[in-house]
Amino acid sequence: MDKDNMSLETLVVHGAQKPDPTTGAISTPIYQTSTFVFKDPDHGARLFRGEEEGYIYTRVGNPTIEILERKLALLESAEAGVAFASGMAAIFNTIISIASAGDHIIVDDTVYGGTYALMTKIIPRLGIEVSIVNCADEKEIESKIKGNTRLIFFETPSNPTLKVIDIGQISRLGHDHKLVVVVDNTFATPILQRPIEHGADIVVHSMTKYLSGHGDTIGGIVVGRREYIERLREETAIDVGSCISPFNAWLILRGIKTLYLRMIRHSENAYKVARFLKDHPKVERVMYPGLEDDPGHKIARKQMLLFGGMVSFEIAGGREAGKRLLSNLNLCTLAVSLGDTDTLIEHPASMTHSTYSDEECLKFGITPGLIRISVGIENGTEICEDLARGLEGV
Ligand code: LCS
């Protein structure tokens, strides 16, 4: 069957993977090696000059990692991909591969707290000016674009407020100004949303989350056009040395086999949890793009298959009520990270987004009473029952 004609359900299982031709092993082998033997000195020299295909050293290329890169590129409708040690490494390397000292970039105001710290503390130190902008507002973006602006970066849905950004609209705007549009697709995954099909240039992921799916590894990836990806690999992945380990790549490959099934279940359970919370008297507001009256619902319907597994809500009584809830749960586990089989719950303002100041948190909707749930694949009714019991004690 031609890979181009495969559905996503089949692609997650078979895309870029086939049984090992020498042994017949159905599971992709883990090439857990740092270096590869040359046949003779001339062979080594030819590989270094790029005159012959082959492996040199795992930081430069590794068969297990390469399969993961090809798989993500297929799933995201991209030409190529390069894997990194973490989502943060993927984002950092993407930014420095496009912007240099003297350039300017635009970043959405609601992103993962680590990304916010990178963009507001580290990147400016390199002489790259960063404007933090509400990327759901086309006019606000346009007002910030200057002659030296190079890229727009955003997540959709965003961490932790589930803000939805119109990928097609912002891509058109970016391209009108010759900017590179980078989307962090961690929350949606390519099962629910493929930003490149909507016009984005580059997609980044924390593979630590849904792609791996089992909370047992860390990884990141960047996919896009082949020419860009090969430059990214040369200039940053290899020389900065942010490569993923073959074993972690293998864990993620294994996770992706069930990604389609998991994303359907995460989305079904999250919708149940969102509906339950919406009707609860101790809940003031629920943020979930799958709710028909959510401000992002219309755009989400346009660009997403389903609405994903992340739900945030504001609890009545603020920070103290939230603390009580988080101490009162049995099934929902108090932990950061997301996209695992297990339901994880956390308090963004004091945990994942503590890199935002109190004023910034309030300004961008990361209120003291905001609780974020990464809804797992357990029985959805039992997740709601756990939350109900927890809220009773508040
Ligand atoms: N992008 C998004 C949207 C994320 O949520 C995270 C991590 C990253 C990038 C960074 O990826 P990493 O380096 O961890 O693989 N988000 C986390 C969170 O919300 N809780 O713990 C980590």
160: CATH: 3.40.640.10
Among the candidates 256, 287, 316, a domain finishes at 256
Both 240 and 305 in a single domain? no
Ligand 1 centroid, distance to 87 Cα (angstroms): 6
What one-letter code names the amino acid at 251? L
Helix, strand, coil percentages, rounded to 5, for the chain: 40, 15, 40
228 classed as catalytic: no
Domain annotation covers residue 281: yes
Q: CA 379, 381, 383: angle at the middle one, nearest 5?
A: 70
Tell me how many domains the chain contains: 2
User: Over the stretch 202-247, which tens digit does the pLDDT of each residue have?
Assistant: 999 999 999 999 999 999 999 999 999 999 999 888 999 999 999 9
Domain annotation covers residue 46: no
Both 218 and 73 in a single domain? yes
Both 95 and 66 in a single domain? yes
Both 66 and 172 in a single domain? yes
Which atom of ligand 1 is found nearest the CA of 372? 19
271 vs 289: CA distance, rounded Å: 9
**With contact defined as beta carbons under 8 Å apart, do 81 and 220 qualify?**
no
Ligand 1 centroid, distance to 348 Cα (angstroms): 12
Q: Where are the beta strands (DSSP E) in the chain?
A: 80-84, 104-108, 129-133, 149-155, 180-184, 202-206, 220-224, 283-287, 310-315, 333-334, 344-346, 370-374
- Phi, psi at 136, each rounded to 5°: -80, -10
Both 333 and 315 in a single domain? yes
Domain annotation covers residue 47: no
Both 158 and 20 in a single domain? yes
Which atom of ligand 1 is found nearest the CA of 218? 15
Residue 193 pLDDT > 70, yes or no? yes
Which atom of ligand 1 is found nearest the CA of 160? 19
Strand 180-184 relative to strand 202-206, pairing: parallel
**Closest by alpha carbon to 308, among 289, 328, 295?**
289
Domain annotation covers residue 192: yes
Q: Which of 111, 116, 206, 371 to mutate to test the pocket of ligand 1 (most atoms within 8 A of CB)?
A: 206
Both 318 and 339 in a single domain? yes
Domain annotation covers residue 45: no
Q: CA 204, 254, 161: angle at the middle one, nearest 5?
A: 40
Q: Which domain holds residue 26?
A: 3-30+61-256
Among the candidates 201, 230, 256, a domain finishes at 256
- Other C-beta atoms within 10 Å of 2: how many? 5
Both 301 and 264 in a single domain? yes
Q: Which of 109, 116, 156, 159 to mutate to test the pocket of ligand 1 (most atoms within 8 A of CB)?
A: 159
pLDDT score, position 237 = 85
Domain annotation covers residue 244: yes
User: Over the stretch 13-60, which tens digit does the pLDDT of each residue have?
Assistant: 999 999 999 999 999 999 999 999 999 999 999 999 999 999 999 999
209 classed as catalytic: yes
User: Over the stretch 126-183, which tens digit does the pLDDT of each residue have?
Assistant: 999 999 999 999 999 999 999 999 999 999 999 999 999 999 999 999 999 999 999 9
Both 94 and 111 in a single domain? yes
Domain annotation covers residue 290: yes
Ligand 1 site: residues with CB under 6 angstroms?
86-88, 112, 114-115, 155, 159, 184, 186, 206, 208, 218, 220, 336-338, 352
Q: Which listed residue (209, 233, 262, 372) is catalytic?
A: 209
**Closest by alpha carbon to 254, among 223, 209, 208, 211?**
211
- The domain that holds 320 is classified in CATH as 3.90.1150.10
Both 134 and 264 in a single domain? no
Domain annotation covers residue 161: yes
pLDDT score, position 1 = 54
Ligand 1 centroid, distance to 46 Cα (angstroms): 39
Report CA Rg, the chain: 21
Both 91 and 209 in a single domain? yes
Instruction: Indicate which residue's Cα is closest to atom 12 of ligand 1.
Output: 87
Ligand 1 centroid, distance to 115 Cα (angstroms): 8
99 vs 329: CA distance, rounded Å: 45
- Percent of the chain scored above 70 by pLDDT? 99
- Percent of the chain scored above 90 by pLDDT? 98
Among the candidates 228, 256, 284, a domain finishes at 256
Both 242 and 287 in a single domain? no
pLDDT score, position 4 = 65
